[in-house]
Chains A and B, each alone.
Chain A
């Protein structure tokens, strides 16, 4: 019943690790050729292309509103939100619906990857620069054989500026 004290600087996954999580699972996806991951516990669902109602005067990274079974959710252009300048895919996008402590939003991505299980101790803190992403939007990274998995900090991405 007691409300958990949330350390503002602690990301969702860091909190999980502190609470004793040993294995982590990430839903992965691509923006252009870059690989990203989101802690699977923060993923509500993944949807195919959605029709978006634009919201005038909103921040540029807000695509608009989509409806998910009666729930109205803000759709976010993830590229613009985290500040990377890769090409937008020509194919129809996917929407990953994610939730933070107090918000739900949908992130538009190019391609869905696999779910990756990683041992908690292998998750490395994010470097200062990774793929040109604003570091506050990262909660960690995990080097794979040929690429680097950049793990996104959903709480930050969904927080109002």
Chain B
């Protein structure tokens, strides 16, 4: 029989009890074994034994809790009894060699040395090979659990800073230390035990209100948390925890001294005898040394690494053969006195009751489950094929197979779910990061976290850790300004960093935003030129957005900003790389003085992704849906017309935009010959990789499927056009395309063959795709088509011709209780008359100065399209121009002119008034507008009024023109959304320039939103108008020019 004291047994049972969870039969078994070993199940232990029996039988959370509470109470009772009995030995326990008990008592100040020599002695006559047979599982479990506890301490400490008087929070901080200490003591992890013990003491004083947790106390607790973490982490990988820990002995002792100093310094109530009362509160088990003052005890605990011989023996079947000798004399045993301990235990039970709904599972096992689920899907598919081949004979099987089908799908889904974890676990660690950084930097920063519940694949969460840490550090260091700077700028002294996650479609978006000073675009520009990343010429032409993106370039760093914490730009390329590596996209936005925002778009999971299956040259390939924009199918002539050759590469026209085209077969070297001549039917998958868009031509397109992504073997990983492989329904593997990898090839082609930088080609594509208008198509005679911009139309009414009346000035109809003046298009412009037999007509109601109705025959469609308006072929009054819409030549009606032709007096007065103030022919207006349609229409408005108009396609060209032709432009009319340089930036730059500052600026937008309007006015815009409204534009131009002229 081993020399084991009741104390030890109770201590070990208590340690097990602290960690046991519902259904953890192993742990319960260990407790039973401990009790049996320690004296059998009769006598004093019989109630405990009985309770353990109830725990085993407990089925479900509700049934588990009551006996669990009883167990804790019973352990506490036994411990208290044992304490009272002091040196009593249970007769059923083999008498313990005296020194085990005596040693600590004899040498209370010195602590470990004597017991240890005794344990060594003991070892020889008992079970030498078992002595160090620590329970590896238990150690791992402890490490896991402890890390969780430490995390909660951190969070609670931070919570305490905002709610310093909360007893509940202090309790919550105290308890985990207590638990960790107990188990660490049991496992002989002495430095951990020491550190926890002293921190626990300090926290206990805090609980009793004798000490206030703030400033240095909180710091030292956090430091302790870090130290404990440092000590625990290596334990997960070691065979010899004691040896591992011995490295920390010095650190631990130094730290313990610090704790004691801080502790005593922080205590109020100087009258009490400080140390003793603290000690007795937590540590008063008399079987152990009378509580030495913490100060004396802890630092002097030497931690000899050979306190027990370290021969990692193969694990024994049951722990009972291996009571670790080294455990025995813990100077400040964790089995603490009734009040504190009991409270601690009971409350400790709370978290475990919450977490008992979850169990830890090895990732390998999950992966294996995932594979098996995939196998099952294959089996199901094969079975379904076979059954359907049986035809009528298989009828009786089909319902069974359907059931199997449904269950299999659900199972696959469920298995996938097991890998999903809330991102909150990752987010929570940043509270600490931000707090520490803020303290170090002398700033006041609040971290605002939302969307913690958003779930992501485990591997993705892990992959996000570094990039997010980097971004948070950056935001703290360079984003948020020092309080004095903030106050001076009229902002609250406390800065805010927002960390938010939300799900959007099949993606998760993570936002990291600060309300700091924003990125200094000018400095970035300079640095990029200095570093040779761009030429001064390019720098001049780049918009702010493009400039900001330079921070992600490798080798970019605004070095003069580097501090101990981080440098804006240092490692941003790594951040981008890490994000892109997991199929994500990162974007940066920044507003001077208002802050910087990073957006990260991430896939939900890496393991199972929705993908489109395509075929080329007889082989199937999977394309991850996250890269997919749209599918295009072209037939016959359409195919020939839309695909063009530019030198050696192909492009295709998609709604006016030109996209580079890649033939998958060629890209993979499967077929060298071009098939464009023979094929009448073409499938194009429009893909995006980051900001690059291109079309991928394939032979056939199948369904989208949820595919399980599997890595390629090391003989294939160098192929960067593939992201992995997956198993198809028929059991055969198919390759998954890496769209970014394919795009890199495509980009090269674009650069070489078109002498256009990818950036420019992207901008141009975007410019063209953005050139879309909503237009209403209609006819008067069935053979002629007309269009008006939809936003100008306020209502459509179908009318009977009979309800149209004649009035003095023309035709009218009743509309909403009033008479609506009508205009018949065929009366104003020379077009084909409507067919004679029409009984009804459509009235397009416009608000042009007043309500007016345009009578037409039929509405054909309303569509969104990029209009390539040809204003030269159709110069007739009443029209803006002509364009090809849905394959038909379509005339765009200038509704202002048409109405003016019908009712000239509506406009005359205004026009005359404007003319009286200003002669438009002497004035030149610069019009910046990327959409050719709006450009044409608005140019018409202005030239018809008599102005000279210069038009340009984007803000950069506008700025160039203004700078090169100073004094020649009287007014700038600009669109807001433009490539290269948007209207806001153009305005800011004009206002910033000495020579140009005074120019009146009118901003035009298709949607006037109050927020945009505000931004525009802040940037220095004089007026903010909705596009296409002629009269307002002319009035405003006139007003500003008159104002300026005077």
In the assembled complex, A44 has its CB within 8 A of some CB on chain B: no
In the assembled complex, B715 has its CB within 8 A of some CB on chain A: yes
B374, B619, B716 — which one has the most chain A CB atoms within 10 A of its CB?
Answer: B716
Please, which residues of chain B bring their CB within 8 A of the CB of A72? 710, 712-713, 725-727, 733
In the assembled complex, B60 has its CB within 8 A of some CB on chain A: no
B732 and A67: CB pair below 8 A? yes
B716 and A74: CB pair below 8 A? yes
A26, B239: Cα distance in complex, Å: 35
B619, B714, B717 — which one has the most chain A CB atoms within 10 A of its CB?
Answer: B714
Closest to B371 in A: A70
In the assembled complex, A31 has its CB within 8 A of some CB on chain B: no
In the assembled complex, B718 has its CB within 8 A of some CB on chain A: yes
Please, which residues of chain A bring their CB within 8 A of the CB of B732? 51, 53, 67
A56 and B669: CB pair below 8 A? yes
B713 and A53: CB pair below 8 A? no
In the assembled complex, B719 has its CB within 8 A of some CB on chain A: yes
Known: A55-B722, A56-B668. A67 touches B731 (CB 8 A): yes
A53 and B375: CB pair below 8 A? no
A69, B716: Cα distance in complex, Å: 20
Mask of A55-67 contacts with B, CB within 8 angstroms, 1/0: 1111100101111
Mask of B363-395 contacts with A, CB within 8 angstroms, 1/0: 000000001101100100000000000000000
In the complex, what's the smallest C-beta–C-beta distance from A48 to chain B, in angstroms? 15
Q: Which of B239, B669, B715 contacts A62 (CB 8 A)?
A: B715
A74 and B715: CB pair below 8 A? yes
Known: A1-B239, A51-B732, A67-B727. A74 touches B717 (CB 8 A): no
B719 and A55: CB pair below 8 A? yes
Please, which residues of chain B bring their CB within 8 A of the CB of A74? 712-713, 715-716
A69, B368: Cα distance in complex, Å: 11
A69 and B375: CB pair below 8 A? yes
Contacting B at CB under 8 A, from A33-78, are 51, 53-59, 62, 64-67, 69-74, 76
A57 and B669: CB pair below 8 A? yes
Please, which residues of chain B bring their CB within 8 A of the CB of A55? 716, 719, 722, 735
In the complex, what's the smallest C-beta–C-beta distance from A81 to chain B, in angstroms? 9
Please, which residues of chain A bring their CB within 8 A of the CB of B378? 70
Please, which residues of chain A bring their CB within 8 A of the CB of B372? 70
In the assembled complex, A104 has its CB within 8 A of some CB on chain B: yes
B715 and A104: CB pair below 8 A? no
A62, B715: Cα distance in complex, Å: 8
In the assembled complex, A4 has its CB within 8 A of some CB on chain B: no
A103, B716: Cα distance in complex, Å: 11
Q: Which of A1, A65, A104 contacts B237 (CB 8 A)?
A: A1
Please, which residues of chain A bring their CB within 8 A of the CB of B375? 69-70
Contacting A at CB under 8 A, from B703-756, are 710, 712-719, 721-722, 725-727, 731-735
B717 and A160: CB pair below 8 A? yes
Closest to A106 in B: B713
Closest to B376 in A: A70
In the complex, what's the smallest C-beta–C-beta distance from A120 to chain B, in angstroms? 28
In the assembled complex, A158 has its CB within 8 A of some CB on chain B: yes
Please, which residues of chain B bring their CB within 8 A of the CB of A160? 714-715, 717-718
Known: A54-B619, A71-B371. A66 touches B715 (CB 8 A): no
A65 and B715: CB pair below 8 A? no
Please, which residues of chain A bring their CB within 8 A of the CB of B719? 55, 57-58
In the assembled complex, B559 has its CB within 8 A of some CB on chain A: no
Number of residues of chain A lying within 8 A (CB) of chain B: 28
In the complex, what's the smallest C-beta–C-beta distance from A152 to chain B, in angstroms? 16
In the assembled complex, A96 has its CB within 8 A of some CB on chain B: no
Closest to A102 in B: B714
In the assembled complex, A90 has its CB within 8 A of some CB on chain B: no
In the assembled complex, A105 has its CB within 8 A of some CB on chain B: yes
In the assembled complex, B159 has its CB within 8 A of some CB on chain A: no
B721 and A65: CB pair below 8 A? no
A135, B717: Cα distance in complex, Å: 25
B716 and A62: CB pair below 8 A? yes
B670 and A56: CB pair below 8 A? yes
A64, B997: Cα distance in complex, Å: 66
Closest to B618 in A: A54
Mask of B673-717 contacts with A, CB within 8 angstroms, 1/0: 000000000000000000000000000000000000010111111
A160, B669: Cα distance in complex, Å: 22
A51, B732: Cα distance in complex, Å: 8
Closest to A157 in B: B715
Known: A55-B735, A70-B371, A71-B371. A158 touches B714 (CB 8 A): yes
In the assembled complex, A144 has its CB within 8 A of some CB on chain B: no
In the complex, what's the smallest C-beta–C-beta distance from A45 to chain B, in angstroms? 16
B714 and A70: CB pair below 8 A? no
A53 and B668: CB pair below 8 A? no
A105, B713: Cα distance in complex, Å: 8
Please, which residues of chain A bring their CB within 8 A of the CB of B731? 67
In the assembled complex, A5 has its CB within 8 A of some CB on chain B: no
Please, which residues of chain A bring their CB within 8 A of the CB of B713? 72-74, 103-105
Please, which residues of chain B bring their CB within 8 A of the CB of A6? none
A76 and B733: CB pair below 8 A? no
B372, B619, B713 — which one has the most chain A CB atoms within 10 A of its CB?
Answer: B713
Please, which residues of chain A bring their CB within 8 A of the CB of B668? 56-57
Known: A55-B735, A66-B733, A67-B731. A103 touches B725 (CB 8 A): no
Please, which residues of chain A bring their CB within 8 A of the CB of B718? 160
Closest to A66 in B: B733
A56, B720: Cα distance in complex, Å: 12
Please, which residues of chain A bring their CB within 8 A of the CB of B717? 160
A103, B710: Cα distance in complex, Å: 14
A74, B378: Cα distance in complex, Å: 20
In the complex, what's the smallest C-beta–C-beta distance from A157 to chain B, in angstroms? 9
Please, which residues of chain A bring their CB within 8 A of the CB of B238? 1
Please, which residues of chain A bring their CB within 8 A of the CB of B727? 67, 70, 72
A62, B735: Cα distance in complex, Å: 14
Please, which residues of chain A bring their CB within 8 A of the CB of B619? 53-54, 56
Closest to A81 in B: B715
Please, which residues of chain A bring their CB within 8 A of the CB of B239? 1
Please, which residues of chain B bring their CB within 8 A of the CB of A105? 713, 715
In the complex, what's the smallest C-beta–C-beta distance from A82 to chain B, in angstroms? 14
Q: Which of A57, A62, A67, A69 contacts B733 (CB 8 A)?
A: A67
In the complex, what's the smallest C-beta–C-beta distance from A77 to chain B, in angstroms? 11
B712 and A53: CB pair below 8 A? no
Q: Which of B670, B714, B716 contacts A159 (CB 8 A)?
A: B714
A65 and B725: CB pair below 8 A? yes
B714 and A76: CB pair below 8 A? no
Closest to A1 in B: B239
Please, which residues of chain B bring their CB within 8 A of the CB of A59? 715
A58, A66, A72, A158 — which one has the most chain B CB atoms within 10 A of its CB?
Answer: A72
A59, B717: Cα distance in complex, Å: 11
In the complex, what's the smallest C-beta–C-beta distance from B351 to chain A, in angstroms? 31
Mask of A1-24 contacts with B, CB within 8 angstroms, 1/0: 100000000000000000000000
In the complex, what's the smallest C-beta–C-beta distance from A144 to chain B, in angstroms? 31
A103 and B714: CB pair below 8 A? yes
In the complex, what's the smallest C-beta–C-beta distance from B960 to chain A, in angstroms? 45
In the complex, what's the smallest C-beta–C-beta distance from B617 to chain A, in angstroms? 8
In the complex, what's the smallest C-beta–C-beta distance from A25 to chain B, in angstroms? 26
Contacting B at CB under 8 A, from A66-121, are 66-67, 69-74, 76, 102-105
Interface residues of A (CB under 8 A from B): 1, 51, 53-59, 62, 64-67, 69-74, 76, 102-105, 158-160
Q: 14 A-B Cβ contacts within 8 A?
A: A53-B725, A53-B733, A53-B735, A54-B619, A55-B735, A56-B669, A65-B725, A65-B735, A67-B732, A70-B372, A72-B713, A74-B713, A160-B714, A160-B717
With A55-B716, A58-B716, A76-B715 known, 9 other A-B pairs at CB within 8 A are A53-B734, A55-B719, A55-B735, A62-B715, A65-B735, A67-B731, A74-B716, A104-B713, A159-B714
List the 9 shortest-distance A-B pairs measured between CB atoms, nearest first: A56-B668, A74-B713, A65-B733, A70-B375, A70-B371, A53-B733, A72-B725, A72-B710, A160-B714
Interface residues of B (CB under 8 A from A): 237-239, 371-372, 374-375, 378, 619, 668-670, 710, 712-719, 721-722, 725-727, 731-735
